[in-house]
Chain A
Amino acid sequence: MSPNLILVIVVGVMVGSGVILVLERSLTRILVGFVLIGNGLNVLFLVASGPAGRAPLIDVGEGPMSDPLPQAMALTAIVITLGVTAFGLALAYRAYQLTGTDDVQDDLEDDFIRRRAERDEVSTTFDEALPDEALPDEDYLDNDDVGVAADAETSVGEERRR
């Protein structure tokens, strides 16, 4: 089945432009790019679904029908794009409200790890030396010696009463 050249070019240009925008830092641009990619890929569904035809309605019109399955898939994709973009817009607005710009900042935690790597730091979990008194110990009695003694006596008392 031969592809439709003009649609192929439209898909390429839209997705390519969308990618350039998505690689930016401004959330608005990213969202515009996202919608552009979404529209481009919906057209890709058309290209892949074969030649144009009459609408996939029974008893309407003559001639070969266009393929309904990719249309159903693209329809859900269109609505999802709407939901996700609206969410992204709320994010952009919120980011602007908090930071005065809608630019995506570097992740703070990741940046922290990067700086740790530069400083050659390691966690202390596997440190070489532990103080001598820090040997593993269930440490049961040190908690409250007095309480233990009192409890022990009462428990013995209970035993006797039984």
Chain B
Amino acid sequence: MVWLVALHFAAAGLAPALVKVLDRRAFWLLALAPAVSFAWLVPQSLEVTASGEAIHQRVTWIEPIGLHLDFSLGPFAAVLALLVTGIGALVLVYCSWYFRPRDPEIWRFAGVLTGFAGAMLGLVLSDNVFVLYTFWELTTVLSFLLIGHNPDRRANRRAALSALIVTTFGGLAMLMGLVILAVETGTPLLSEIVAAPPLTGGLVIAGVMLVLVGALSKSALVPFHFWLPGAMAAPTPVSAYLHAAAMVKAGIFLVAVMAPGFADVPGWRPLLVALGIVTMLIGGLRALRQYDIKLLLAYGTVSQLGFLVALSGTGTRAAAFAALSLLVAHALFKSALFLVVGVIDRSVGTRDLRELSGMRKARPLLFVTSAVAAASMAGIPPLLGFTAKEAAFAAYVDLGSDLGWSTFASRLALTGIVVGSILTMAYTARFVWGAFADKPGVEPCHPRAFSRGFSLVPAFITAFTVLGGLVGAWLTPRIATYGEAFPEGAHEPVLTLWHGFTPALWLSILTAVAGLALFVGRHPVAAAQHAIVDRLPMPDADRSYHALMRGVDRLAVEVTGRTQRGSLPFYLGVILVTLILVPGFALVRAWETPQVREIRLADNYLQIAVGLLMIVAAVLIVRSRRRLRAVLLLGVTGYGTAILFVAHGAPDLALTQVLVETFLLVTFVLVLRRLPPFFSDRPFTVMRWLRIGIGVLVGIFVSAVALVASNARTATPISQGWEEPAYTYGGGKNIVNVTLVDIRAWDTLGELSVLVVAATGLASLIFLITDRAGNVSRPRRIVTPDSNQWLAANLHDDRRSIVFEIVTRLIFHTVIVFSIYLMLSGHNSPGGGFAGGLIAGLALMIRYLAGGREELDNAAPVDAGMVLGIGLALAALSGIVPTLLGGGVLQSAIIDIPIPLLGELHLVTSVFFDVGVYLIVVGLAIDVLRSLGSGIDAQAEEEADEQEDEVVPA
């Protein structure tokens, strides 16, 4: 079964390509997917409906959480699956005539419609509630796309949106309900939930009711019914398939499948029967007022869906039997009628029954098709609609004895469906008359010629309506299999053209006569309906929905306007205050435990001295109004941090911290030379005190965290036993470095990606050009005219320093060699890729400071992006290559290579990872220097030139 669904999705994926090649004829190939499924399902369904035993299939998916693709084909699902695939195939064939040749939009439409057929089939076949929900929402989304097929009109977008919102709302409610039921019963399998249902407990009742909200919204019942007429914005094949045969039946399907287990849940029967009948009446009354024949059918569908929900929710054997029969009948006649409307619409160009005239003579085949299908809708013998409706009447006549309902209640329900059927008869007559009759005073229509196949599709479907009415005896046992899940009732239901003179027969006659009378007297009826409906203060569902949505929109604007003020300090303040309040509360509670109070002053005097210095510097930074002062004081705290690292016994950290701090300090100064020397004044003193208050509280909070966290460190540290594996597996004596490139190499890889992104981002902020590589990389050597041979390029005379140039010349290469040494030796002693890369970056920085941006290009005649890319690729490769050799990701190997004369090379493969780190840090450095150094230089010079140009003409 899973293959059938997959086949649909594969076809949907191919659809755009097929449409490109075959244009609208691609629909014929796409129709193969449902057609093949139909052919496969026929023998299976015959077997299932004969034996009553469902076929189960499980595809293992996510074993640990017990989520599998469970499919099952029960008696009800089998019939519905046949309808979904059969009508799906025919509708796709019909599409090949419905659309214009070379329609630029159908590639998308074809894919979505085929995909929808797959989702619908998956929904009907799925047995796992979560799989069911997935397909359920998939149909919702795809139907949204289909309704919004022509999004140019605002009304269409609106209709698609309300369908989406209403059915998604229902779907979410249903998901909650399904989760409750799955948890309460301990299984996600729908068949097992229904087989052993827990009937008591408020939670179960709530779960069932939530599921029903989903079912009712999908099947367009009051009060959710308004989305369905709006959905008529979809192309007519979609209306025929989604809104008559398939999707709206999903709700009926869910009710019908759950009814055997849950019909006795308090509230189930009254809710479904009452809402079903009310929907049936409202839909019928509305249908009588429509002029658009497609909208007339849409309201008719609402009415029939109400009927179906009432029947399938009743929970007696006879009603269940009637529900399934009527479901088949409705799918056949309603899809045929919609397809007829599509033909009329395409050939005449209007669907307004005041403009249609003379179609009976112009299109006799179409007329016969619609007359037969409509007769089935109205319940006229010898058609399937008649036998099904008789079964429904018979079931409701016995309501009192089957369910023990009071005479009043059962008679009221019976009256409801009889009145509903009378309205059905009346709007059916209105439809046939409206579409085909010769109307006095109306110009007869002259429909365009179309391919014969176009009108043959509805005729073909209608043939089954006739056949179904005639072979009632063959159908009865097959449909009755589903009903056997319910206790035996007062009569055994049967589909037959002649029952004898039963109450059902008299009711059928009454329905036909009264319905025709309503049609004949349509003018006074319409006037009366107008008069009554316009006076009643009836709540209009569509209006209420829109009022509700306006309210939500309004609320969203108010809430957003109040909370999302767009001010960064405000957002940060809220986050920090939350930090103080929520985890702060937990800290206060933790304070009460005794072990927190142990404390020692310091490990050594160095810590005290440096700590005090840093505290002073930090306070002075806050008070400083000069940018440069703040940055220099920041450097004090940074170097102080490095000394604290030394005092703690962390040479690697100290080394990196010193290098980073130096690099950062120069970078800050490079930018600050272009910014004003003082910070702008902030006059609001209240806000300043507030900021200080938050800062002090956060500081106290973090100190408290430090106290609690270090006291909470009672377990043995995970790194306690790292010494030995670091050497034997990681091949290095510097445990910190082995941690970076081996034990926690994933972490480092993530960090490298961040660095690459930051470097690329900052370069793109300064060089506002997309083609960076072509403009920046200058491999040739630039020699300035006033070069003194120490450096190839020089700064202008007033800024250059000969001593600096000579020193740079002397130490640059040494520093680069040292940086490589530091990278390679980092595995065994302090150093590594980060430190090495930073030192190389500082060397480049010296070249830039001594010789300007030309000298930087001489020093690094490469594109920074290239360096970054090679570094990241190298790091990633050194992670992947071990897996190709059968190891784990980022695993390192130790190889000893004997080299003549020099001895043995002790090579640990993680050194390649470290080389990647080195290159990325160098790339970052080049990007920083080029952007914040050279880039800003160039822009400053340009501005200076411009100013000169302005001065000269003046």
Chain A residues within CB distance 8 Å of chain B: 1-26, 28-29, 31-32, 35-36, 39-44, 46-60, 65-69, 71-76, 78-87, 89-94, 96-97, 101-104, 106-111, 113-118, 120-123, 125-128, 130, 134-141, 145, 147-149, 151-156, 159
Contact = CB atoms under 8 A, between A and B. Distances in A.
Contacts of B349: 141, 145
B799 interface: no
A68 B736 contact: yes
Interface string B632-651: 00100110010011011111
A66 B717 CA distance: 11
Interface in B84-130: 97, 100-102
Interface string B652-670: 1100110010011001100
B611 A7 contact: yes
Nearest to B663: A82
A126 B706 contact: no
Contacts of B230: 136
For chain B, the bracket of interface size reads: 35 or more
A126 B549 contact: yes
A93 B547 CA distance: 48
B535 interface: no
Interface in B706-748: 706-707, 709-711, 713-714, 717-719, 722-723, 726-727, 733-736, 739-740, 743-744, 747-748
A137 B232 CA distance: 7
Contact of B161 (A72, A117, A125): A125
A8 B622 CA distance: 19
Nearest to A112: B566
B660 A79 contact: yes
A140 B235 contact: yes
B572 interface: yes
Given A5-B601, A82-B664, A35 B634 contact: yes
B376 to A, nearest CB: 26
A10 B696 CA distance: 13
B600 A2 contact: yes
Given A9-B615, A140-B150, 8 more contacts: A4-B602, A6-B611, A16-B699, A36-B634, A40-B702, A42-B653, A57-B651, A90-B931
A3 B709 CA distance: 9
A87 B758 contact: yes
Contacts of B653: 42, 71, 74-75, 78
Contacts of A8: 703, 706-707
B675 A84 contact: no
B889 to A, nearest CB: 18
Contacts, number: 424
Given A4-B603, A44-B706, A68 B735 contact: yes
A39 B703 contact: no
Interface stretch (B53-61, B301-309, B759-767, B906-914): B759-767
B829 interface: yes
B553 A126 contact: yes
State the main secondary structure of chain B at its contact with A.
helix
A46 B638 CA distance: 15
B697 to A, nearest CB: 8
5 A-B pairs with the lowest CB-CB distances in the bound complex, closest first:
A16-B699, A117-B561, A110-B566, A12-B703, A20-B695
A7 B451 CA distance: 88
A126 B700 CA distance: 50
Contact of B569 (A23, A60, A97, A155): A23
A52 B603 contact: yes
B192 interface: no
Given A10-B614, A23-B694, A89-B668, A75 B680 contact: no
Contact of B711 (A3, A25, A96): A3
B755 interface: yes
A69 B615 contact: no
Interface stretch (B137-145, B151-159, B390-398): B151-159
B79 interface: no
Given A36-B621, A44-B702, A134-B153, A23 B829 contact: no
Contacts of B561: 113-118
23 contacts: A2-B711, A4-B603, A4-B607, A8-B706, A16-B698, A16-B699, A20-B691, A25-B568, A52-B604, A54-B649, A68-B722, A74-B650, A75-B656, A79-B660, A83-B924, A85-B667, A86-B758, A87-B762, A93-B671, A101-B680, A116-B561, A130-B155, A148-B100
B788 interface: no
A85 B666 CA distance: 12
